[in-house]
Structure 1
Amino acid sequence: MTAIIMFHQLMGGAIFMAAGQVAFVNQLINTLHTSVPDIDSALVIATGATELRSVFSPEQMPGILAAFAVAIVAVGLSFFISLFSNFKRIDTDAVQGGGAA
């Protein structure tokens, strides 16, 4: 039972981390198309957040930073919404036998 629980915890973390990254990148791409339509969004993603100022011009940076801000706010909102999920403790008294001693 412990192995099954650990497997699901690890796989859930891996899957939801990848899904969260995909959601962040998709939101970033959608916002970049509206805020700075003249730049390549793939270049922004490939560049990374730490090197943006060295690759893009100062005129482009406000739109790029706005796109990052919108994506970060969207991810933050989804985190706070997840806090209201219904978490229940497993009732161990209801489980009869079935475990190794």
Structure 2
Amino acid sequence: MLDIVLEYKSLLENLHQYIEDSKYKKEHIINELGISRATFYNKLKKRSFSIPEMITLSSLLFPEDTKAFEIKNALERSRKDSDAGRVLEHESVIAVARKKILESK
């Protein structure tokens, strides 16, 4: 548990640099967070972003990690569905996909 806390502390301490190094302008980040410019800079200075704000920031600043996290979670859900018998036959999946394709034309 201590390692998680220390990693979070490091993230907060380096957040300003991560933002500077990102491909996004600060205005875009501020808009994504849905907060005012003054609030953004105040939170950045005080390192006081909420957990939902930190999730948004992490998703913006570390898109590869976010994608890997999403894939890992999807695989875990798939395994649980498979173990619980919540599966579809290949033929039925293909039929649904074909139907969607034909309806979109």
TM over 0.5: no
Length-normalised TM-score, structure 1 = 0.29
Highest RCO, 1 vs 2 (Cα 8 Å, sep ≥ 6)? 1
Of Structure 1 and Structure 2, the greater helix share is in 2
Instruction: Give me the TM-score of the superposition, normalised by structure 2.
Output: 0.28
